[in-house]
Amino acid sequence: MRPAMAGRPRPRLRAVAASTAAPLVMLVPVALMVAVLAFRIHEAVPSVSKFLRPAVLFGTGGFIFLLVRATPDQRARITADPLVKITALYLLWGIASIPQALYIGAGIETIKVIYTVIFITAAFAMLPATERVLDWLIRAIAITGAIVGVIAIIQNQGSWIGRLSFGGSLDANDLAAVMAMSTALALGAARKGKGLSKLIFLGCAGITTLVIFKTGSRGGFLSLLLTAGVFVLAVPGAKRAIWLSVAALGLVAFWFTAPQATRDRFTTLTDLSNDYNSYAYFGREEIWKRGVGYALKNPILGVGLGNFETAEGESIARDGWHGKWSTAHNAYIQAAAELGLPGLAMFLLMIWRATVAGFRWTTFDKRSGVPPDHARPELLAGVLGMAGAIYFLSFAYSWIVFSILALAQLADRTRIAQRRARASVPARA
């Protein structure tokens, strides 16, 4: 080395360091936004949640930080991003429904809570469209899911007693849905990893699967089966058999170590004729039927953002019943009932776009040109697993849903950027 260069980083090393640090400045706030808004990780410490209001700090504050740090090109991507546009229209449609809502106050309170979903989609839109960024986020979300799962188990004293939940926001069914999506991403990170990394993410998948069993959520169990099935089918080549064995052995192990009460609860899925959800006035099927009625009676703006429970209250009183004003327990019916058919159409469009984005990262889509070693079955598995889980949940405005939608949109931008890069390379003579 020349004396003049002693003690100084070489220009190439400085450039590498800068290129590594720049994405991290954007990635860490995005990961924190997902951890706080989607996973509600701050609720592990109730005093922090009560006094510091992390959801506002990391939602609104995180987005403002990203906006300030972003380059003009990165900020321009916000207005160009299709998911951001649809999300903004979706929220604006919800706001437009409030003046004619059954109870205006419920609509106002709802928008005060859910407005940050636009910040999640916008934050992802500002990120560089590279596989390194995609890998980092998938790993971060998988680890976050495992951490939340461990905390939930510890706070429940690690027993099988009761149905596991987390904090004040994620009940057993909500937690199971979040864990199913995390399982898909953890499996994807394990597939890409080597050595210790592979073992760590297999462990993450094991933790999130354990949590699903401990919730006793039948919808979460179905989502887990869908997630694992799609992931295995989308794994390319001969390794599909290996991952089929891993998934099958894992599910069998958890099944036979779960208590009999949990297994009995899951086996009721084979015959729901005696389940109260199938016939009772306050069961889910009757609630869904009434929800479809709300949508058909109010096809344009619905009963109003956040007003499904109010509509239920009116129906209960009109029918001469007394009981709980229930939520929709189905994101699709919730969107249709509260925002009308246009709201449902926008919600379905976002899920469809994410599904197509995930499909294009598999070798199923021959036109996408994704090489087998670059395939990402976890994206399609995560999207479809969540789409299945929210059939049983009031998640039409959920942060976790918009997080996986935003991740799929980032993946699609990455695929398009790679295709353009390959097309720009001149063919050798």
* Tens of pLDDT, residues 224-267: 999 999 999 999 888 899 999 999 999 999 999 888 888 988 99
- Give residue 361's pLDDT: 94
Coil, strand or helix at 170: strand
Whether pLDDT at 1 is above 60:
no
Q: What is the pLDDT of residue 70?
A: 92
DSSP 70: S
**Average pLDDT score, the chain:** 89
The mean pLDDT of 53-62, rounded to a whole number, is 83
Higher pLDDT, 13 or 211: 211
Of 45-49, 128-132, 190-194, 397-401, where does mean pLDDT reach its minimum? 45-49
Question: Which is higher by pLDDT, 307 or 426?
Answer: 307
How many angstroms separate the CA atoms of 40 and 28, rounded? 16
Residue 10 confidence (pLDDT) above 70: no
Q: Measuring CA to CA, which residue among 419, 404, 389 is closest to residue 137? A: 404
Q: Residue 298: pLDDT above 60? A: yes
- What band does 23 get if pLDDT is binned at 50, 70 and 90? confident
Which whole-number Å values give the CA distances from 157 to 43, 160, 164, 292, 379, in the listed order? 17, 9, 10, 41, 33
Q: What is the pLDDT of residues 256-266, one digit of tens each?
A: 988 888 898 89
C-beta of residue 138 within 8 angstroms of C-beta of residue 188: yes
Q: What pLDDT was estimated at residue 211?
A: 95
Can you spell out the DSSP letters for 328-385? -S-HHHHHHHHHHHHHHHHHHHHHHHHHHHHHHTSTT-TTT---GGG--HHHHHHHHH
Q: Report, as an integer, the average pLDDT of 82-109.
A: 97
- Determine the pLDDT at residue 365: 73
Could you identify the residue written with the tokens 């976002």? 350
Does 413 or 370 have the greater pLDDT score? 413
